[in-house]
Amino acid sequence: MAMSYIGSRMLDRELKKGSAELLILSLLETQPRHGYDIGTLIEQRSKGHLRFNVASLYPLLYRLEKRGWIQGRWVEKSGQRRRRYYRLTAEGKKILKEQRNSWREFVEAINSITGLEHA
């Protein structure tokens, strides 16, 4: 049915967007990283299941930056081109904590429902 197709696709998008934010914030928790680094890490750690290309990754980074959750800064190192590194702001740390909780609750909720259906 066309309608449910649109519906599920939209749900997919919402989910992906919500989780993408969480992923980026998590990766920046321990150290600042540049965009290529972030994209590669997501791909590696998800064993290739999740992949962001340039066209979707950078707009997301810009959005998080605009919200004040991360901050980008050009860093030059000897012998390398300058790169834009992103780090987590204080606000971003708070959001990350909250989103982790929400995500846990969400996953638990999903699990409990899907678990129930199998029972």
Partner 1 sequence: MPDWNDEVRKRLRGLKVSPANEAEIVEELAQHLDDVYQRALASGAGEAEAKQMALNELNAEHPLLIEVQRYEKHAPEEVILPGETRRLNVLADLLQDLRYATRMLWKNPGFTTVAVIALALGIGANTAIFSVVNTVLLRPLPYKAPEQLVMVWEDATRHGYPRDTPAAANYVDWRDQNSVFSGMAAIADSNFNLTGVGDPERLKGRRVSASLFPLLGVEPHLGRVFTAAEDQPGTERVAVLSHRLWQRRFGGDAAIVGKTLTLNNESYTVVGVMPARFQFPANDDELWVPIAFTAQEAANRNRHYLEVVARLKPGVSLEQAQTEMTTIGARLQQQYPQSNADLGVAVNSLHEHMVGDIKPALLILLGAVGLVLLIACANVANLLLARAAIRQKEIALRVALGARRWRLLRQFLTESLLLATFGGIVGLAIAYVGLLVLGSFIPENISQAREISLDLKVLGFTLGVSLLTGLVFGLAPAIQAVRLNQSETLKEGGRDSVTGRSGKRLRGLLVTAEVAVSLVLLIGAGLLINSFLRLRSIDPGFRADNLLTMKIELPEPKYEAFERREAFYTDLVQRVQSLAGVRSAAVTTNLPLYRQGNSISVRIEGRPEPPPGQELIVVTRIISPGYFDTMSIPLLAGRQLTDQDTETTQNVVVISETMARRHWPGEDPVGKRLSAGRPRSEADWIQVVGVVKDVRQFELNAEPRPQMYLSYRQAAFFFPEDLVVKTDVDPASLAATVRKTVWEIDKDQPVSNIRTMDEILAESIARQRFSMLLLGIFAGVALLLAAVGIYGVMSYSVAQRTHEIGIRMALGAETSAVLKLAVGYGLKLVIAGVVIGLIAAFALTRLMSTLLFGVTPTDPATFVVISVLLICVAAIASYIPARRATKVDPLVALRYE
CB of 6 to partner 1, least distance (A): 5
Residues that bind partner 1 (CB under 8 A): 3, 6-7, 9-10, 13-15, 17-18, 21, 35-36, 39, 53-56, 58-59, 62-63, 66, 74, 81, 83-84, 94-95, 98-99, 101-102, 105-106
Q: What is the dihedral of CA 40, 72, 21, 98, to 10 degrees?
A: 130
Instruction: Write down the least CB distance from residue 56 to partner 1, Å.
Output: 6
Shorter beta-carbon distance to partner 1: residue 62 or 115: 62
- Count CB-CB contacts under 10 A for residue 28: 25
Contacts of 61 (CB under 8 A, 6+ apart): 24, 35, 38, 70, 72, 86
